[in-house]
Structure 1
């Protein structure tokens, strides 16, 4: 699912009070506050906000945890049933933002334009996930936000014991459930 070629990209934009939308992801492991980069990733941000406002994420889990790499969630329930989504969105990996520790990006399959509701949070600087070109193995994953509070929660989730379950690898043994995602005013 992820590529391995390294790349250099710009860092996340500097935040200014009230300049970016903010969401709080409440989980069974604690709360994570995320600043969204609407200017750099307008399609991804609007997509995420729409799912959040619709209550879609309530009851989904972080279904993929790879220590030192990523935690991924937003698409499966605790019994690993995939939730139905809206159609895929444009891949905004060309926005110049880098998959650094604490950034949030759209998850997708090997198909470049397949991102829907799932997202991941980088546990490390994962430059191999950045856009380096237009070939399928170079296109990258679109960063659309960053954790501003709760990185300790992200790290705790990232250290969760995992096993293969329901044909999926890296599923936390104890489910980490997203109880709700709130868009801050």
Structure 2
């Protein structure tokens, strides 16, 4: 009987370790001056977008970039090296991976794009509130799993600011993959 319990305990431990490793492979830590936001990426919804984000994170692309567009109650946008919403990385744009089942709710992470649905590159946004009007129109790449309080502290645009542009915006201090070191 003790042998059976030992085997069961071993199986449960190995199963837990495998699940944790899988989660770490798709977990990103976004550090701001106010703390850390943990994002669980969703390759099941947007494999090409997730691959590109992970590539950019591993290159340190996002480190130091501004939250250039932040609209209270809606979203905080970043990922533009120009800091004005017109830039991207040197990697190719990604075709849209819209999901009819994914919902844009508080904490959802989506890819920003131009009017062309296939123009997402490096910019992304974190929803500060529910945004059902984006469902099926933008690619969902993940969800905030910890740090919504930190997300809420990101400096917002002044009311009436054109396009939600932020004066003296907060920045991403660093963005790292969990599997690379916690």
- Structure-1-length-normalised TM-score: 0.77
Partner of 1:7: none
Structure 2, gaps ≥5 residues long = 1-18
Q: How does 1:76-155 map to 2 (within 5 A)?
A: 76-77=81-82, 82=87, 84-94=89-99, 96-131=101-136, 140-155=137-152
Judge conservation of contact 2:77–2:125 (CA < 8 Å) in 1: yes
Structural RMSD (CA) = 2.3
* CA deviations over 1:42-67 (Å, ceiling 9, x no partner): 11110110110011111211100011
Runs of at least 4 residues off by over 6 Å: none
Distance in 2 (alpha carbons) for counterparts of 1:142 and 1:56: 20
The counterpart of 1:35, out of the listed 18, 37, 40, is 40
- Structure-2-length-normalised TM-score: 0.78
Deviates more, 1:140-149 or 1:25-34: 25-34
Deviates more, 1:44-53 or 1:93-102: 93-102
Cα distance change on mapping 1:80 and 1:44 into 2, 3 Å: closer
Q: Is residue 176 of structure 1 aligned with residue 170 of structure 2? A: yes
Aligned-residue offset at 1:18: 3.9
Aligned-residue offset at 1:39: 1.8
Q: How does 1:38-77 map to 2 (within 5 A)?
A: 38-77=43-82
Task: Give the number of the structure whose residues are more often helix, by fraction.
Answer: 2
Judge conservation of contact 1:59–1:78 (CA < 8 Å) in 2: no
Distance in 2 (alpha carbons) for counterparts of 1:171 and 1:35: 27
Q: Is residue 22 of structure 1 aligned with residue 27 of structure 2? A: yes
Distance in 2 (alpha carbons) for counterparts of 1:162 and 1:19: 40
Aligned-residue offset at 1:41: 1.3
Cα distance change on mapping 1:31 and 1:77 into 2, 3 Å: farther
* CA deviations over 1:95-154 (Å, ceiling 9, x no partner): 6211111010110011010000000011111110011xxxxxxxx011110001110111
SS of aligned partner of 2:55: helix
Structure 1, gaps ≥5 residues long = 1-15, 132-139
Task: Give the number of the structure whose residues are more often strand, by fraction.
Answer: 1
Q: Is residue 162 of structure 1 aligned with residue 158 of structure 2? A: yes
Distance in 1 (alpha carbons) for counterparts of 2:92 and 2:118: 10
